Structure 1
Amino acid sequence: MDIERLQIEGGFLDGLDLKFSSGLNVIIGARGTGKTSVIELIRYALAARSHTTEAKNRSFDHARAILDGGEVTVLLNDLVDDITVSRTADDDKPRSTASFVAPIVLSQTEVETLGLSDAGRLSLIDGFINGRSIMSATEATVISSLKSIYKEILSMEAEIGSLSEEVTKVPNLIAQLHDFERQLRDLQGNSDEVAKKQSESSLLTEELAAASAREDIVARFGKHALEWRTTLDNLLLEDFGPDAWTGAEENDPVADLRGTYDLAISKIAEASEIFQKIENVSTLRQEEIASKNFEVERKARILRLELDKVSEGTGALSRHISLIRGQIAQINTRQSLLDERHRRLDSLRKRRDEAVAELEDIRLNRYTLRCGVTEKINNALAPYIKLEVEQSSQLGEYSKALTDALKGSGIKYNDLALKISENVSPRELVAVVDNAGFEELADLVDIPKERAARVIAQLREFGLADILTCDVQDDVSMYLLDGVDYKEVAALSAGQRCTVILSIVLQHSERVLIIDQPEDHLDNAFVANTIIKTLTSRKGHGQIILSTHNANIPVLGEADLVIELTSDGRNGFVQVNRPLNHPDAVNAITNVMEGGSNAFATRAKFYEDNSL
């Protein structure tokens, strides 16, 4: 896909209409004539990626300032159809007639600094990988799913904790029950009348206990329906409907979807009403159970009074026994609920583990693709330039996620977060927390067991979603052969860094390359021996647009098109747009880049007179 045409309305380059060739296009001109502005406006129009946050902000501000409220339009050609892309100074994103692949754009500053940041080096390698946006979208979907599952896990663990606390009371309640029953038997003695009344009282107690368990189930059911209804009602309250169409109805681009949207909203409203009915029925059933309980309790109270008359103290003991049996019945009901919640938690953890495995597969595939890119670049640029990729070695995000999770815990977390991130992977940490493996964590991180237990308790309470989904990125290292030794890119001079970056960027053959003044910080020998060599080898393998002050690039690089920009002080405009050998192009190169024909002739005579 090539850039055929650039048109600008408004601002410094108002009226500019620039056509490009499918090969090497070289933009020349004095300083302040708009060379960088043309490149940044193409980047802005096509939403081409900036390789650092600083570069992104600077590029965005530059483009909007140059447009001054106007609009930039780019015409693309993919050999089948023309694609028109437009963007005004106020647009959040481009408007296009079809989807397109954005070019690779590098500013002068990006060429100089790209190799110094972890993100910049990764961005440079990722530019060679096709389907990155699909991969990133899939990754984002999996991460969103993981975070949603973790919310359910946290809620389920909290409910299990509450239920478990109640279940632990059962042994003590049973002991109390047995003690009261023994006391009751001692008071009853061998009286048949007492035994009969006690049997009746026991039946009523069992009936009350069963009713109490039913009431608990109904109450929980109604509460669940209330939570659903509240969620749906809040969604309905926040929905203001889709934007209205102010034009002719037949031109409404979503006319066929509006009815479907309204139907979906009505179904949500219906669901809310159904949950409301469930709440109402639950409330009525609770009232019915309470009414029956009242009658049963009245009968039990009469029996207890009668028992007290026959044998003093038996009524009070019967009442205690009734209360305890009711509590045990409720808790036993919750035991089955607890068992079900444990099964649901196991299911959620299984879903979580499957999502984690999918996320790891996506990231492993990305690492494999990066390795493939570096291998091809190494083969092309050996022995002078060498690249290496280390898997999942940028631990900053992981360490930060751990720090955030441990804040407010009373644990000294800064050094600890770093130690954990260096010794335990996010997935291993999840397994340790799930199993309450404080001894294992203590061994892995070399900390006291008591401290490891506190860490696990804090992580369990905080949740592990952000830790498990944090982006532990690969790391790309770049080296330049300097003498007999390889030097890492951070240790190189500005010129040497540019050598590495440009050599890598120019390996692209499938995407349009746009580079602003690539020769800065480079001597003419390197320009001639490296950049020119790569440009000529890429003939017929993709479009390149370069701005430059170096005459070697258009001349020795055999430019297909030379574009000279000039300015009258108020506006920049195209002075020349011709093939390299056209007299206008030759004249432009001679005057702008060589200082004029006399200066060029003087230098040529000097070289001839002093040649060896």
Structure 2
Amino acid sequence: MGHHKLRRLRVYGGFLDKLDISFVDGLCCVIGGRGSGKTTVLEFIRHALDRAPKATGPGSKQADERLRGLLAANLGASGCIELEFESQEGLVYNIRRTAHEPPVITDAAGKQLKAEMLGSSVLVDAAIFSHNQIEDIAQNPAAQRELIDRLSSQSLQTLEARMAQTTSLLRENAQRIVQLQVRIAGATRNLVDLSSWESKLAAATVALGGEASPAFKAAADHKALREQEKAALVRAHEAVARLRHSLGEAVPAQIRGLGGLLPDPLFAGPNGKVFADLSRELVRKQTELEVLLSSPLERLGGVERALASASEQLAAAHRPQDAEYAALTARAEQSSARLAARDEAAREVARLGASKLEVVELETALAEARAARTRLRQDFAQTRRDRSDRRAAIAEQVSDRLGGKVRVIVARDAELTPYREFLAGLMRRSGKQYTAPIERLTAALAPDKLGALADREDAAALAASADLNPEFAETLIRALREQPERRFELDVLDLEDVPRIELQVHGEWRSADRLSTGQKSSAILPILLMDSEAPLLIDQPEDNLDNSFISDAVIPQLKAIRGKRQLVLITHNPNLPVLGEAGQVVVLEADGRHSKVIAQGDVEAVKQHIVRLMEGGREAFHQRALRYGE
């Protein structure tokens, strides 16, 4: 499989009106004088691809405002950007975007596609870094993690998708467990009430026995039986309706999703036949499953109709029986109070009698839900381990590839901020000092271990494990037990890995956040230049780097990844296009009101512009050569 590529950028309106740049695979450089719009080209590409920098850090708001200002000033209210992009599968997309509207995407046939595809990082992807953003990466662990993840985007995306699915299933499972527990509590209360009503029924029957004739007693017994008959049909109808609803709503929705698993753009690619054949098979299986499922649904519908018919027949049979019973009751006024008490007790016993079976069914369902939760938690934990293992492997590869100059170390599950915030929210209204205890707890005990202690209500073990005050431990356990929804959130807390990028300086390894500005670029840039499917766009990567580092470290990497990745560099340094053997150099020139492309081609085709803009002119170039003795 190939790699993603930018193919063409066109601009209509604004400072870069009528700009038309063609990109080649390999190294492309954009050069020009100050104010010629080089940075604007990169930001226009970023805007078209909807790759705005993630808002992190104290200056993120100002950076976002600067980007919006740049777009407004250089594109205007009516201008637009058109970007042609080729995916690694060979699919071509045309992206059109104005300054203030979302992007509009069409495929090679002109069919409009969903804008959400830009966020998938599968069909369309690019790594874009503005001026000084490389230095910012050195200060930001989340940005460093994203940098490492980019070196294995496909496998990590699969793991992230699996984690998202498992998280969703765990949350659904938590809701089911809570609902089952509520229903069990209600059914258990009904059992207590049932015992009381059974006692009342027995007492009322005994009291009535001495005053009523055998015929009246038989009629009263039949009345109680009729109540049980009606209750039995209601229970049966509810059970069948629940089953039919479950099969008719949840399962078909999942089956119908089979036909839409594959995105349309894949069918138009060079491997479209593979996906078209697979799509037809999925649709065929979807139809088969829907047909197979229709039979039990039809049968359940028949059961419901039979139950409705039985209810109608029973109601018809009950009407004369109830009328006869009412007549007997009228003739036995002296027994009416006791009879009313017996009838009420009989109705309640019939209504509550289902609770015995309901408790058994609910407890069985709860056991199944808990067993499913155990499996889901194990899958969630294993997926997180797989993700950490993958990152550790990438870190090792990076360290090996960069020859002992730069290394990456991954600290597993080290991002504890979400865990701290969760516990702080739980203890905020407890009236206790919680900051220091939470620090000790998060350092000592993973969320799943805390959850297990909460399930066992083992406050003593919690206090001992995290060096907590026993009263604090008891309060925390109680809070988790009293708020089951919060307890279940522990199972889906994702403690991210924290990578640490280090540079060897005079025989000592120093983490990126402790480096000078130039050293930070020396640590981060070689990682950015490693293999990836996504095009890499950087604004002035040479800033804060000396030319020897560019010649000795950067240029060899540029040559090593030729043919494996597209790079677009905005630069003032001639070493990058010349020694890097750029396949395309775009030369911009501005007159104060507009900027335009005055030349584009390989180094040989535009060398006079490189000498003029980047070397200070041919005379200056020769003078330096003479001074060097060359």
- The two structures have a TM-score, normalised by structure 2, of 0.73
Write the distance in 1 (CA, Å) between the matches of 2:353 and 2:82.
72
1:548 and 2:571 are equivalent in the alignment: yes
Aligned to 1:519: 542
1:22 aligns with 2:25: yes
| Equivalent in the alignment of 1:74 | 84
Determine which of 30, 34, 39 is the counterpart of 1:31: 34
SS in 2 for 1:394: coil
Structure 1 residues 77 and 319: alpha-carbon distance in aligned structure 2, compared to 1, 3 A threshold: closer
1:433 Cα deviation after fit = 5.2
Alpha-carbon shift at residue 410 of structure 1 (Å)? 7.4
Question: What residue in structure 2 maps to residue 158 of structure 1?
Answer: 182
Cα displacement (A) at 1:388: 1.1
Tell me the distance in 2 between the aligned counterparts of 1:438 and 1:527.
59
Task: Name which of 141, 147, 158 aligns with 1:118.
Answer: 141
Once the two structures are TM-superposed, the CA of residue 375 in structure 1 deviates from its matched residue by 0.9
CA distance in 2 between counterparts of 1:423 and 1:303 reads 79
**In 2 relative to 1, CA 216–20 (structure 1 residues): closer, same or farther, beyond 3 Å?**
closer
Q: Does 1:11 align with 2:21?
A: no
Contact residue 406 and residue 413 of structure 1 kept, 8 A:
yes
Q: Deviations over 1:76-125 (max 9, x none)?
A: 386x8572422221333543339844232222232110122222011101
Partner of 2:185: helix, strand, or coil?
helix
CA distance in 2: counterparts of 1:290 and 1:320, whole angstroms: 20
In percent, how many aligned pairs have the same letter?
A: 24
Question: How do 1:267-346 residues align onto structure 2 when only pairs under 5 Å count?
Answer: 298=326, 323-324=344-345, 327-346=348-367
Larger radius of gyration: 1
Assess, with a 3 A threshold, how the Cα gap between structure 1 residues 431 and 450 changes in structure 2: closer, same or farther: closer
Residue 214 of structure 1 is matched in structure 2 by 232
Amino acid at match of 2:414: S
Q: Which moved more, 1:59-68 or 1:566-575?
A: 59-68
User: Which one-letter code corresponds to 2:502 in the other structure?
Assistant: Y
- For 2:569, the aligned partner's letter is L
Q: What do the CA deviations read for 1:191-228 (whole angstroms, capped 9, x no partner)?
A: 8x889699759845853763575377379669969999
CA–CA separation in structure 1 for the residues paired with 2:439 and 2:315: 57
> Which of 95, 99, 116 is equivalent to 2:106?
95
Contact kept in structure 1, 2:408 and 2:501, CA below 8 Å? yes
**2:265 corresponds to which residue?**
none
* Mean Cα deviation higher: 394-403 or 120-129: 394-403
Say which SS state the counterpart of residue 619 (structure 2) adopts: helix
1:581 aligns with 2:604: yes
Q: Deviations over 1:527-559 (max 9, x none)?
A: 233223322443444332211112232233333
Q: Quick check: 1:395 aligned with 2:406?
A: no
**Structure 1 portions without partners, runs of 5+:** 236-256, 309-314
Question: Equivalent residues in 2 for 1:332-371 (5 A)?
Answer: 332-371=353-392
Say whether the 8 Å CA contact 1:402–1:467 is kept in structure 2: no
Contact 2:139-2:512 within 8 A present in 1 as well:
yes
Q: Give the aligned residue type for 2:151.
A: F
Cα distance in 2 for partners of 1:62, 1:153 equals: 52
570-579 vs 64-73, greater mean Cα deviation: 64-73
Q: Separation in 1 of the partners of 2:435 and 2:505?
A: 39
Structure 2: gaps (5+ residues): 110-121, 254-282
Task: Look up the SS of the partner of 2:414 in the other structure.
Answer: strand
Residue 352 of structure 2 aligns to a residue whose secondary structure is helix
| C-alpha spacing 1:117/1:538, structure 2 compared with 1 (3 Å) | same
Pick one of 402, 405, 408 that aligns with 1:381.
Answer: 402
**Structure-1 separation of matches of 2:71 and 2:306:** 58
How many aligned positions are there? 557
Task: Give the whole-Å Cα distance in 1 for the aligned partners of 2:317 and 2:581.
Answer: 93
Contact 1:201 1:303 in 2 (8 A): no
CA contact (8 A) 1:177 1:325 kept: yes
Residue of 507, 519, 528 corresponding to 1:484: 507
Please tell me the residue identity of whatever aligns with 1:579.
D
- Indicate the residue corresponding to 2:269 in structure 1: none
Could you say if the C-alpha distance between residues 305 and 75 of structure 1 is closer, same or farther in structure 2, counting changes exceeding 3 Å? closer
Q: How far apart, CA to CA, are the structure 2 residues paired with 1:473 and 1:290?
A: 66
Counterpart-to-counterpart distance in 1, 2:134 and 2:596: 26
Where 1:473 maps in the other structure, the secondary structure is coil
TM-score (norm 1): 0.75
- Cα distance, 1:317 vs structure 2: 7.1
Q: Which amino acid aligns with 2:31?
A: I
C-alpha distance in 1 between matches for 2:104 and 2:435? 40
Counterpart position of 1:105: 128
Corresponding letter in the other structure for 2:40: S
Q: Which moved more, 1:513-522 or 1:484-493?
A: 484-493
State the AA in 2 paired with 1:122. R
Tell me what 1:42 maps to. Answer: 45
Q: For residue 147 of structure 1, what is the amino acid of its counterpart?
A: R
Q: How does 1:409-428 map to 2 (within 5 A)?
A: 421-428=442-449
Q: Residue in 1 aligned with 2:258?
A: none
> CA-atom RMSD, angstroms?
4.7
How far apart, in 2, do the equivalents of 1:435 and 1:457 lie? 10
User: d(CA) in 2 for partners of 1:301 and 1:363?
Assistant: 71
Structure 2 CA distance for partners of 1:219 and 1:77, relative to 1, 3 Å: closer
What displacement does 1:148 show?
2.8
Preserved contact between residue 205 and residue 326 of structure 1 (Cα < 8 Å): no
